Amino acid sequence: MTASDIVLSTLNARYSHTSHALRCLLANLGPLRARARLLEFVLGARTETLAEKILQLEPRILGLSVYIWNVEESTRLVAMLKRLRPELVIVLGGPEVSHESDAQPIVQMADHVITGAGEQAFTQLCHQLLEGPRPLMKLIPGDATSTAQLEALVLPHGEYSDEDLRHRLTYVEASRGCPFKCEFCLSSLDKTAWAYPLPRVLESLEDLYRRGARQFKFIDRTFNLKADTSARLLQFFLDRQDPEDPCFAHFELVPDHLPDSLKMLIERFPAGALQFEIGIQSLNPAVQAGISRRQDPQRTRDNIAWLVAHTQAHLHLDLIAGLPGEDLVSFGAGFDQLVDWLGLREGREHEIQLGILKRLRGTPIIRHTQEYDLRFNPAPPYNVLSTDVLDFFSLRRLERMARYWDLLAHREDRAGDKSEGLLAALLGEAPFARMLAFSDWLYAQTDSTYRIERRRLYALARAWLETPAAAALAGT
């Protein structure tokens, strides 16, 4: 391998994922770009293997992107690298180390930490480390996001290799930040949202498309915040719909803001071309208000109903268990409503993603800790263990249900399988009560939420449908 002075690395959750953040850093290194190398790994590899591949490149600087899902393995990697090569300068970045940094073991071992967005800060730091004088500060503030800052950045899309475009997700962004203040989300710390210059975004997307990219996943928190910009992006993908060479785009949608100008475009997309991720999180107005979540419930319902009835877009709705003030009955009622909205009992191919509240470092959700007796796991992923209205055992039941639901209900996982009608039968007339009862029964049979082969899972689901417990819930 050719030596590189700067190595940028991270551990992705899956091979299909790519690190957009590291590509942003690479693209903005300026003259140092020729001295840098991207090296991505996947969770689960031996620490010795990771260290070997990094040290073979003989770097002087290692930039490591740290997230909630990889911090434990990243900590072991940094410890080993510092034992083997104490002189290697390790620079950390990413949301996991950008807040509450001082007490973290990985931060204590590293040389520098860049908090927040780091394209310009990392480039400046690399110049100082390679050319001197070396900075004395360990914690280095990241770039202040603004329209001017985004205009100055080089878009990272040219850093995707041909191999990436053929086999992995292409992450793109047209804006940064979020104007909403949902307290469980790190984006609540943003002041507003800022957009990249749209002509540059469209030009960059066109270059990716010419190179063969067909799977585009936008990481913008508020894709449809500005209807005119959203319409231009939708039109870009609509113009490139070819039955012989399909193109797919994923956007995160604000559910209560869907003007007619966007509806007219969305309804023209063919099946399999468009996916919207919609963060519902809770349908309880009191819970929403308590976590500073602004969402018009009637508009949300009307827009989702319109999307289901009049478009072929695939919908992916998020629901979070363990939010302050939300008990089992309230969470279950929200689940049942989403099942109805999406028509899951009628066989429609939409999805509900069930998650458990996590206390991400730096988020203001912590202000509710005493009032709602929130008790969080001290280790990643910092999931809530109990609240004043959900005890530990109830949350464990919901975690298992979320896992089994993920195995049964997600479209990509079920492609080509033989489970037609099974999900609708499991949901019945009381979706949440039946899924929770099925989850309890399945765990009693298997003592596991993993290592369940799909064919066996379907057989067990059909077996449960024949039990007295399932029959007793049939008419509820």
HEC per residue, the chain = CCCCCEEEEEEECCCCCCCHHHHHHHHCCHHHHHHEEEEEEECCCCHHHHHHHHHCCCCCEEEEECCCCCHHHHHHHHHHHHHHCCCCEEEEECCCCCCCCCCCHHHHHCCEEEECCCHHHHHHHHHHHHHCCCCCCCEEECCCCCHHHHHHCCCHHHHCCHHHHHHCCEEECCEEECCCCCCCCHHHHCCCEEECCHHHHHHHHHHHHHCCCCEEEECCCCCCCCHHHHHHHHHHHHCCCCCCCCCEEEEEECCCCCCHHHHHHHCCCCCCCEEEEEEEECCCHHHHHHCCCCCCHHHHHHHHHHHHHHCCCEEEEEEEECCCCCCHHHHHHHHHHHHHHHCHHHCCCCEEEEEECECCCCCHHHHHCCCCCCEECCCCCCEEEECCCCCHHHHHHHHHHHHHHHHHHCCHHHCCCCCCCHHHHHHCCCHHHHHHHHHHHHHHHHCCCCCCCHHHHHHHHHHHHCCHHHHHHCCC
In this predicted model, what pLDDT tens digit does every residue of 321-364 receive, in sequence order?
999 999 999 999 999 999 999 999 998 989 999 999 999 999 99
Of the listed ranges 10-24, 95-109, 415-429, the least confidently predicted one is 415-429
Boundaries of every domain in the chain:
6-144, 157-390, 416-476
Give per-residue pLDDT as tens, 367-409.
Answer: 999 999 999 999 999 999 999 999 999 999 999 999 999 999 8
Report pLDDT for 53. Answer: 98
Lowest-pLDDT range of 35-39, 40-44, 446-450 = 446-450
- Per-residue pLDDT reduced to its tens digit, 63-118: 999 999 999 999 999 999 999 999 999 999 999 999 999 889 999 999 999 998 99
* pLDDT tier at 145, thresholds 50, 70, 90: confident
Which structure tokens are listed for 285? 């107005």
pLDDT for res 474:
77
Mean pLDDT of 403-423: 74
Nearest alpha-carbon partner for 279 in 347, 334, 215, 340: 334
Q: What is the pLDDT of residue 225?
A: 86
Rounded to whole angstroms, the Cα distance separating 23 from 370 reads 40
Residue 291 has what pLDDT? 94
**Domain 6-144 superfamily per CATH:** Cobalamin-binding domain (3.40.50.280)
The per-residue pLDDT for 192 is 81
Residues 296-305 pLDDT 10s? 999 999 999 9
pLDDT at 189: 85
Closest CA to 156 of 118, 100, 212: 118
Question: What's the pLDDT at 270?
Answer: 96
Q: Percent of the chain having pLDDT more than 70?
A: 97
Whole-number percent of the chain with pLDDT over 90? 84
User: How sure is the predictor about 415, in pLDDT bands with cuts at 50, 70 and 90?
Assistant: very low
Residue-level pLDDT at 417: 57
Instruction: Write out the two tokens for 319.
Output: 């629901």
* Residue-level pLDDT at 411: 54
pLDDT at 33 over 90: yes
Does residue 418 carry a pLDDT above 70? no
Q: Which CATH superfamily is domain 157-390 in?
A: tm_1862 like domain (3.80.30.20)
- Identify the pLDDT of residue 1: 64
What are the tokens at 241?
């719909």
Rounded to two decimals, the pTM is: 0.93
Residue 357's pLDDT is: 97
pLDDT of 412 above 90? no
Higher per-residue confidence, 197 vs 413: 197
Judged against a pLDDT cut of 70, whether residue 271 lies above it is answered with yes
- Are 438 and 404 spatial neighbours (Cβ–Cβ below 8 Å)? yes
Q: Are 404 and 434 in contact (CB under 8 A)?
A: no
Predicted confidence (pLDDT) per residue in 191-233, tens digit: 788 999 999 999 999 999 999 999 999 999 888 889 999 999 9
> How many whole angstroms from its chain centre is CA 57?
30
Instruction: Please provide the average confidence, as pLDDT, over all residues in the chain.
Output: 94
Q: What does DSSP say about strands 61-65 and 351-356: parallel, antiparallel, or unpaired?
A: unpaired
Q: pLDDT tens digit string along 111-143?
A: 999 998 999 999 999 999 999 999 999 999 998
pLDDT at 263 over 70: yes
161 pLDDT exceeds 70?
yes
